[in-house]
């Protein structure tokens, strides 16, 4: 065990060299991987919510935060400034790609600090190879920021403990925890792993860690209270069963194959003694990987359902670091084969997330269908008002007449748009009406506006399914 305050042994020349290039190089590669293909993927509804929020004035954003997504206000405020310089897909997603690069560089350096630079570099390579990392690195949401902040907080804690001569080390840890809480509320569950590991192998620093957490958790606690007050926005989340833990490999890897390979490597790390990491840090990494899913499951059953896979993305760097430790403990030939196996397992998923429907929805295809099939005088109706954002982004002026819309700006308290309520009057005199709704053809029975149209004598003559399950349906109704 490394004793706090003891002089750290000098590192070999190769390791000192690794300190200078491994982390930054891995971060640059990770950013480039995420940027590649970032313009080919349709925005998801969540990304369009980011666009809707960020386009508003500062006063409008504050008004929105008082009704929905208030805990995302720091991210939305940042994106409000970022979108002043452009609103193309790649530009909206570039901050997440940069955050992924930062996370990867810190993963490499943290692995070096905990064990050796080969461990750090292996962890970074594994992290880059994961389809889940590319997905969130190309996602205009805050989850890539949450992962980066989780690594930064752990990196700051390691430096504060292992380099006690740095007087500002503990302040840096508290600041990193504060940043973590401002990225995504549930990412704060990573701090539970910090506390648990220090409680087990504290080296006398438990009081300092508790004090830093008490200070650093204040912003996150504020956003947690805001999010709880607006929990109606996540009323769609169902109570999780124990089977959600069977899907953890797919969550951490992006695909079941990539996640399974990562999970096996991470699970092996605590049992391999040659990686050189202190048991404190192995315990912390294991807690980082496992405690947040357990805590989110418990919160879902004790308070309100909140278990969603993407809320746990901040745990993925912990798995990558454990995998890096395991790879560093293996002889070189099997380690190289294992890395090649992770790369091969992740490659199909990397291609998949870059498809047009890689974020599950496909607004560009829906816009193309309307542009090619609609005729002058056709009407367009949305089963859910917020779907309009995606077709306005990709279809623009080429869409049929939006007969229900009464204002061009979104509603102040939601992501929907102001609409008239008299659909029958709105389509009077129209022979063809296009309807767009969430889900497949079977979901038409749950769309109130479809029922109104059929009551007015319209019948469905064509329908197209776009995107992945649940996807969207674009349907044509004629009299």
C-alpha 451/C-alpha 430 separation (Å) is 17
State the DSSP string of 218-234: HHHHHHHHHHHHTGGGG
Please report how the helices 117-129 and 256-268 are oriented relative to each other, as an axis angle in degrees rounded to 10: 160
> Where do we find the tokens 């380690």?
335
pLDDT of 420 > 50? The answer is yes
- Token couple for 334: 């099997």
Residues 300 and 405 in one domain: no
The reply to whether 367 falls in a domain is yes
- Measured at the alpha carbon of residue 361, what is the angle toward residues 238 and 223, in degrees to the nearest 5? 50
343: exposed, middle or buried (Cβ count in 10 Å: 0-12, 13-18, 19+): middle
Is 165 a residue whose pLDDT tops 90? no
The answer to whether position 467 is within a domain reads: yes
Dig out the tokens for 415 from the structure: 């992501």
Does residue 417 share a domain with residue 305? no
Mean pLDDT for the stretch of residues 309-319: 97
pLDDT digits (tens, 9 = 90+) for 95-151: 999 999 999 999 999 999 999 989 999 999 999 999 999 999 999 999 999 999 999
* 406 and 318 together in one domain: no
- Region 331-360: mean pLDDT is 95
Do 335 and 392 lie in a common domain? no
Cβ–Cβ contacts within 10 Å for residue 374, how many? 19
Same domain, 326 and 369: no
User: Which strands, in side-by-side order, build the sheet including 379-382?
Assistant: 401-402, 379-382, 432-438, 472-478, 459-466
- Report the alpha-carbon distance of residue 299 to residue 277 in Å, rounded: 32
Q: Are 45 and 19 in contact (CB under 8 A)?
A: no
Q: Tell me, yes or no, whether 69 lies in a domain.
A: yes
259 and 370 belong to one structural domain: no
DSSP codes of every residue in 363-390: HHHHHHHHHHH--TT-EEEESSGGGHHH
| Domains of the chain: total | 2
Tell me, yes or no, whether 397 and 445 share the same domain: yes
In a domain, 6, yes or no: no
Of 353, 382, 398, the one marking the end of a domain is: 353
Cis peptide before 470 (omega within 30 of 0): yes
Please state, in angstroms and rounded to a whole number, the distance separating the CA atoms of residues 363 and 391: 6
449's torsion region: left (phi>0), alpha (psi -120 to 50) or beta?
A: alpha
Q: Where does residue 457 rank: exposed (0-12), middle (13-18), buried (19+ CB within 10 A)? A: exposed
| Residue ending a domain, choose from 321, 353, 385 | 353
Contact 34, 353 (CB under 8 A): no
**Looking at the structure, do residues 348 and 386 belong to the same domain, yes or no?**
no
> 1 lies in a domain?
no
Q: Is the pLDDT of residue 15 over 90?
A: no
Among 177, 216, 198, 189, which residue's Cα sits nearest to residue 291?
189
**Does residue 2 lie in a domain region?**
no
Residue 39 lies in a domain: yes
> Which of 309, 330, 353 lies at the terminal end of a domain, its last residue?
353
The answer on 458 and 409 residing in a single domain is yes
3-state DSSP helix/strand/coil percent for the chain, to nearest 5? Answer: 65, 5, 25
Taking alpha carbons only, the member of 395, 352, 383, 355 closest to residue 463 is 383
DSSP state of 419: B
Question: pTM for this one?
Answer: 0.93
User: Do 308 and 248 form a contact (C-beta atoms < 8 A)?
Assistant: no
| Whether residues 295 and 332 fall in one domain | yes
Looking at the structure, tell me whether residues 245 and 383 fall in a common domain: no
465 by DSSP, 3-state: which? strand
Q: How confident is the model at residue 19 (pLDDT cuts 50, 70, 90)?
A: low
In tens, the pLDDT along 258-295 reads 999 999 999 999 888 777 778 999 999 999 999 999 99
pLDDT at 1: 30
Q: Say whether pLDDT at 422 is over 80.
A: yes
Cα–Cα dist 2/25, whole Å: 29
Range of the domain at 72: 13-353
Same-domain pairing of 303 and 374:
no
The H or E element containing residue 434 is strand 432-438
Residue 53 has which token pair?
């929020």
- Position 3 in a domain: no
Rg (CA), the chain: 25
Q: Between β-strands 459-466 and 472-478, what pairing exists: parallel, antiparallel or unpaired? A: antiparallel
pLDDT at residue 18, rounded to an integer: 46
Residues 147/103, Cβ–Cβ less than 8 Å: yes
Which of 368 and 274 is assigned the larger pLDDT?
368
């Amino acid at each position: 065990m490394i004793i706090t305050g003891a002089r750290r042994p000098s590192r070999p020349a190769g390791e000192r060299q690794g300190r200078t290039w491994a982390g930054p190089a891995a971060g640059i590669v990770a950013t480039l991987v995420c940027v590649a293909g970032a313009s080919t993927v349709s925005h998801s509804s969540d990304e369009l919510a980011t666009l809707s929020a960020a386009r508003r004035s500062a006063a409008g954003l504050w008004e929105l935060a008082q009704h929905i997504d208030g805990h995302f206000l720091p991210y939305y405020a940042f994106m409000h400034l970022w979108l002043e310089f452009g609103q193309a897909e790649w530009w909206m997603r570039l901050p997440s790609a940069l955050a992924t690069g930062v996370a990867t560089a810190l993963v490499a350096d943290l692995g070096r600090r905990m064990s050796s630079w080969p461990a750090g570099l292996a962890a970074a390579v594994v992290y880059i190879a994961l389809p889940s990392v590319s997905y969130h690195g190309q996602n205009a949401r805050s989850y890539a920021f949450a992962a980066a902040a989780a690594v930064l907080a752990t990196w700051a804690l390691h430096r504060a403990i292992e380099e006690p001569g740095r007087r500002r080390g503990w302040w840096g840890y508290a600041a990193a925890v504060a940043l973590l809480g401002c990225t995504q509320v549930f990412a704060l569950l990573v701090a539970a792993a910090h506390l648990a590991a220090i409680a087990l192998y504290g080296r006398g620093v438990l009081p300092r860690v508790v004090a830093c957490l008490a200070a650093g958790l204040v912003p996150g606690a504020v956003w947690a209270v805001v999010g709880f007050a607006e929990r109606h926005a996540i009323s769609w989340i169902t109570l999780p069963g124990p089977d959600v833990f069977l899907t953890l490999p797919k969550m951490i890897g992006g695909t079941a194959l990539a996640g399974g390979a990562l999970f096996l490597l991470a699970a092996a790390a605590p049992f391999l003694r040659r990686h050189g990491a202190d048991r404190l840090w192995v315990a912390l990494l294991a807690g980082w990987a496992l405690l947040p899913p357990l805590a989110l499951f418990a919160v879902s059953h004790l308070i309100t359902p909140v278990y969603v896979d993407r809320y746990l993305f901040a745990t993925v760097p912990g798995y990558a670091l454990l995998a890096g430790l395991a790879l560093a403990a293996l002889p070189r030939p099997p380690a190289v084969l294992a890395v090649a196996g992770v790369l091969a397992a992740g490659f199909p998923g990397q291609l998949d997330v870059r498809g047009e429907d890689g974020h599950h929805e496909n607004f560009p295809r829906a816009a193309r269908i309307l542009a090619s099939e609609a005729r002058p005088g056709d009407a367009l109706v949305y089963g859910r008002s917020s779907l309009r954002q995606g077709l306005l982004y990709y279809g623009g002026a080429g869409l049929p007449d939006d007969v229900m819309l009464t204002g061009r700006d979104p509603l102040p308290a939601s992501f929907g748009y102001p609409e008239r309520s008299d659909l029958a009057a709105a389509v009077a005199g129209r022979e063809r009406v296009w309807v767009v709704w969430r889900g497949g053809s079977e979901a038409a029975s749950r769309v109130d506006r479809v029922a109104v149209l059929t009551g007015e004598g319209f019948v469905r003559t064509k329908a197209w399914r776009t995107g992945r399950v649940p996807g969207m349906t674009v349907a044509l109704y004629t009299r």
